[in-house]
Structure 1
Amino acid sequence: MKKTNLQNLGYIISVIGVAIILLWIGVFKFTPTEAKAIEPLVQNSFLMNWLYEISSVQGVSNIIGAVEIVTAACLLLHFFWKPAGIIGGVLSLGTFLATLSFLFTTPDSFKVVDGVPITQFFILKDLMAVGISLLIIGKSLGK
């Protein structure tokens, strides 16, 4: 394969991977288990805690889940319709920046175990997704 073919394949796999994660987690947000699990993260977030003023714990989780599902759909649609990539890329970027902010707003996110600083590692994967979101926006804008 040529370098450009490998780059294209890597891009396609990356976008599909982010879309699958968003779709899967988005669907899970409609369950009471996930709604309760994200409550401390959202509750301590200055970006998102206001949502609990307009809806219940499950309602907030449903809203977040719906946004994640729409984002996943836009990411997949962008292979056929570039404007969907702009929408999906921006929503994806916002989603992953918001979740990364949980590292700094959720109490006890950072701990030292056996002399090694640790954090909620599941959130750190979102750093890669921020980069992929920027690639999607750039490619959708033709830049």
Structure 2
Amino acid sequence: MLPIVLLLIAVSAALIAESVQAGQYGSFSAIVAFYAPVSPGLLAQVAQPQIWGLSALVVLALLSLRWRLAQQLLALSLILFSALPLISLFGTQHYIASLGGFPMLGSGQGVIKYLALLALGITLLRWPVATAAERFWLNFVPVGLVLLWIGGMKFFPFEAKGIVDLVSSSPLLSWLYLVADEQMASDLIGLFDWLALLLLAAGYRWPRLFIPGFLMCGSVFITTQTFLISFPPSWSSPGVLSSSGVFIIKDLWFIANMLLLAQAWWQRSGSRLA
């Protein structure tokens, strides 16, 4: 599992770096706004270290396929790289003021995904000593939080309206609008997210519940990756992700979390299924 995780980190970091280089900042501008007043000149200036950091993640992830020292450096880099975005969640700029602010996420929907990257960093740092239970719950937290939080927002009209273009463009999801209206389709997606995370968590105690939970959670993040094909605005130009595309590609981090928690679950529970 670990080589696949490292490759997912490398691919996502490379694509995001290319996007930032092209000026597709997305939630990055809201993150910067937490620390300093934003201006176009400041964004361009701060983006350069961001590109260097992402490029370093690509190199370290690839080197980690062979060397443990590179894996440790990658782990520390992931922790540091995810810390600043996550700290900015304590500000107000990531929430929708017209809806009361916290917990109504705006740009914060992209920022909370850095929790997945943080969990990956801690897991890699503690890889030789962490128990299976630690690795399972460490990687469950970001998966559970994003499905609980963003899934819960699907029950609100503003979010139901916001996902229409994505859902209607998807061959995997567009059928929902044939059997339900805009709000009901969004509600069904939210209920699916919540059921998936409950089954995944319960699967730690009752192993036979894990597989349906794993498949359901995994399908959420894999489906979002298909938006890169079905949703043309995911790309600002050939090979360069738009801000929407950067938001989507970050779900590769959750797929990496899922692989690591599955490996931990199998080490703990595999023999009990025999």
Residue equivalent to 1:71: 196
Q: Does 1:41 align with 2:166?
A: yes
- Report the structure number with the largest CA radius of gyration: 2
Is the aligned partner of 1:99 residue 2:227? no
Q: CA deviation at 1:133?
A: 2.7
SS at 1:78 equivalent: helix
Deviation at 1:6, TM superposition (A): 6.0
Of 135, 148, 156, which residue of structure 2 is paired with 1:23?
148
CA deviations on 1:79-99 (whole Å, 9 max, x unpaired) are 211122211100011111111
Distance 1:38 1:87, change over 3 A: same
Cα pair distance change 1:54/1:2, threshold 3 Å: closer
1:84 counterpart (193, 201, 209): 209
Q: TM-score, normalised by structure 1?
A: 0.85
Q: How many residues align?
A: 141
* 1:134 to 1:38, Cα distance in 2 relative to 1, 3 A: same
- Runs of 5+ unmatched residues, structure 2: 1-125
* Residues in 1 aligned to 2:137 and 2:169: alpha-carbon distance in whole angstroms: 35
Q: Tell me, which stretches of 5 or more residues in structure 1 are unaligned?
A: none
Deviation at 1:13, TM superposition (A): 1.2
TM-score normalised by the chain length of structure 2: 0.47
Query: Which of 241, 245, 259 is matched with 1:118 structurally?
Result: 241
Checking the alignment, whether the CA contact within 8 Å between 2:136 and 2:262 is kept in structure 1 is no
Percent identity of paired positions between Structure 1 and Structure 2: 30
